[in-house]
């Protein structure tokens, strides 16, 4: 199989001359707390995910004022599913070459079916190296590096993870990766493995790693809006998504918890919540979940409230002027560093707020979509307003 030279990450990926045995080994992105597509770590600054053409086009056409609140789009790579005789799996990224487009396929715009998984489908890695420049992944004759045959994930995080609830089936023991990240990774590798006889090349989006500035990233993934299904959804899928909204805070608040990890200063590990926990929450339970997200095991991080509220209010003002935009099934990430209060020379802690997941987004004139919506996405804005209201209540109670 013809593979290509290691790429340099830039705004867009350029074509490269084919060479044998060179590429970038992708690793599981251990801080993924929600979603169903597996996020992969390309390097310190970049992650990648399976490409869906609607999402790619949306990133390419973002209004300038929204770019502050979305990951930077960095282009496309071809990803090889590479198995060996022992049944272990590598995912390796190569430059995407337009002339080979017919041989590269994207993931379909639908949820992937669940499959049973085995331990042998885990991603393998032999290094915890986090340098920006990733080395070539071949021996001197172009063969796969033999020491990468252990299926066991190395300790990649600075702190272990532990689930708060048992709904995910994850072990209660402390582990070195977010349990939801591993779940998504195993599902994706299982699907790719089942298709390995048909094809081994996929297209992945390259996106900014939005947690790269945080030593102990505390991440809250919120499913936004009162509606989750896209305009092109089948009746069955639309009914399924509407039921999820009706049975959760999506219907009343326009937002629900989709995943969370929060670093605990008193124990030195992350506590994690998953989307099943988030779907079960009442309005009061949603408030308690936000309180949990802001609590480091020692005290409530009240210093985070004003920086987060400021960004949310700014985002509301941006989205209120985006006429005809709809962000169905999109999520909002809130991120801060769990290491503690900021140094004395800093006026406030660093926080980040980013919109992600645009596989079902639309606006007037986008890809010749037949359905055109009027005004801003009121369901999404309702979720933002509910979120700010709950955070203001937590702030007022703490005072």
Two structure tokens written together for 306: 């004003």
Confidence at residue 136, expressed as pLDDT on a 0 to 100 scale: 32
Q: What does the DSSP 8-state code read for residue 113? A: P
Q: Identify whether the C-beta of residue 196 lies closer than 8 Å to the C-beta of residue 297.
A: no
Two structure tokens written together for 268: 């030195």
Give the integer Cα–Cα distance in Å for 173 and 35: 23
Give the integer Cα–Cα distance in Å for 254 and 244: 12
Instruction: Label residue 129 exposed, middle or buried (CB < 10 Å: 0-12, 13-18, 19+).
Output: exposed
CA dist list (Å): 301 to 219, 235, 267, 294, 384: 14, 44, 16, 5, 20
Give the integer Cα–Cα distance in Å for 332 and 328: 12
Two structure tokens written together for 19: 């060479």
Q: pTM to 2 decimals?
A: 0.80
Confidence at residue 290, expressed as pLDDT on a 0 to 100 scale: 98
Confidence at residue 20, expressed as pLDDT on a 0 to 100 scale: 34
Residue 358 φ then ψ, to 5°: -120, 30
Pick left, alpha or beta for residue 297 (phi over 0 → left; psi -120 to 50 → alpha; otherwise beta).
left
Q: Count the alpha carbons within 13 Å of 160 in the hemisphere toward its beta carbon.
A: 8
Q: Identify whether the C-beta of residue 161 lies closer than 8 Å to the C-beta of residue 180.
A: no
Give the integer Cα–Cα distance in Å for 16 and 5: 7
Instruction: Label residue 149 exposed, middle or buried (CB < 10 Å: 0-12, 13-18, 19+).
Output: middle
Give the integer Cα–Cα distance in Å for 127 and 213: 21
* Site of tokens 């309005």: 283
Confidence at residue 265, expressed as pLDDT on a 0 to 100 scale: 93
Angle between helices 378-398 and 283-293 (to 10 degrees): 70
Contacts of 344 (CB under 8 A, 6+ apart): none
Per-residue pLDDT of the chain (399 residues; tens, 9 = 90+): 333 323 333 333 322 223 335 789 999 899 999 998 899 999 999 999 999 999 999 999 999 999 999 999 999 999 987 765 676 778 899 998 875 554 555 665 544 333 333 322 333 333 333 333 333 333 333 333 223 332 334 444 567 787 665 444 444 456 677 889 888 988 888 887 777 666 668 999 999 999 999 999 999 999 999 999 999 999 999 999 999 999 999 999 999 999 999 999 998 999 999 999 999 999 999 999 999 999 999 999 999 999 999 999 999 999 999 999 999 999 999 999 998 766 665 678 999 999 999 999 999 999 989 999 999 999 999 999 999 999 999 999 998
Enumerate the β-bridge partners of residue 262: 271
Q: Identify whether the C-beta of residue 88 lies closer than 8 Å to the C-beta of residue 107.
A: no
Q: Which strand (E) or helix (H) includes residue 208?
A: strand 201-208
Confidence at residue 231, expressed as pLDDT on a 0 to 100 scale: 95
Instruction: Decide the pairing of beta strands 351-356 and 269-273.
Output: unpaired
Give the integer Cα–Cα distance in Å for 63 and 55: 14
């Amino acid at each position: 199989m013809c593979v290509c030279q290691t790429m340099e990450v830039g705004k867009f990926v350029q074509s490269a001359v084919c060479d044998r045995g060179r590429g970038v080994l992708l690793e599981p992105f251990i801080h993924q707390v929600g979603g169903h597509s597996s996020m992969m770590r390309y390097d310190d600054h970049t992650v990648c995910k399976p490409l869906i053409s609607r999402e790619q086009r949306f990133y390419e056409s973002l209004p300038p004022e929204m770019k502050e609140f979305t990951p930077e789009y960095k282009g496309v790579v071809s990803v090889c599913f590479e198995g060996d005789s022992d049944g272990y799996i590598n995912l390796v990224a190569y430059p995407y070459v337009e002339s080979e487009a017919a041989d590269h396929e994207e993931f379909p715009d639908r949820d992937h079916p669940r499959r049973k998984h085995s331990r042998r489908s885990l991603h393998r890695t032999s290094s915890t190296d986090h340098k920006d420049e990733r080395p070539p992944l071949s021996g001197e004759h172009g063969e796969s590096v033999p020491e990468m045959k252990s299926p066991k994930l190395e300790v990649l995080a600075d702190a272990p993870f532990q689930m708060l609830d048992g709904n995910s089936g994850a072990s209660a023991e402390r582990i070195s990766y977010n349990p939801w990240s591993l779940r998504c990774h195993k599902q994706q590798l299982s699907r790719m493995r089942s298709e390995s006889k048909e094809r081994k090349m996929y297209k992945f989006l390259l996106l900014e790693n939005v947690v790269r500035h945080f030593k102990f990233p505390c991440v809250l993934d919120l499913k936004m809006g009162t509606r989750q299904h896209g305009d092109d959804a089948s009746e069955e899928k639309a009914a399924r998504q509407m039921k999820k909204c009706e049975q959760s805070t999506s219907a009343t608040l326009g937002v629900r918890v989709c995943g969370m990890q929060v670093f605990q200063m008193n124990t030195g590990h992350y506590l994690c919540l998953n989307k099943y926990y988030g779907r079960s929450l009442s309005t009061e339970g949603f408030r308690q979940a936000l309180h949990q997200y802001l609590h480091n095991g020692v005290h409530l991080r009240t210093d985070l409230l004003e920086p987060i509220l400021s960004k949310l209010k700014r985002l509301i003002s941006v989205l209120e002027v985006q006429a005809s935009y709809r962000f169905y099934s999109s999520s909002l990430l809130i991120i801060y560093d769990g290491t503690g209060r900021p140094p004395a020379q800093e006026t406030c802690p660093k926080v980040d707020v980013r919109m992600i997941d645009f596989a079902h987004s639309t606006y007037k004139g986008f890809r010749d979509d037949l359905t055109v919506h009027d005004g801003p996405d009121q369901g999404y804005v309702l979720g933002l307003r509910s979120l700010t209201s709950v955070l203001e209540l937590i702030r007022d109670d703490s005072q």
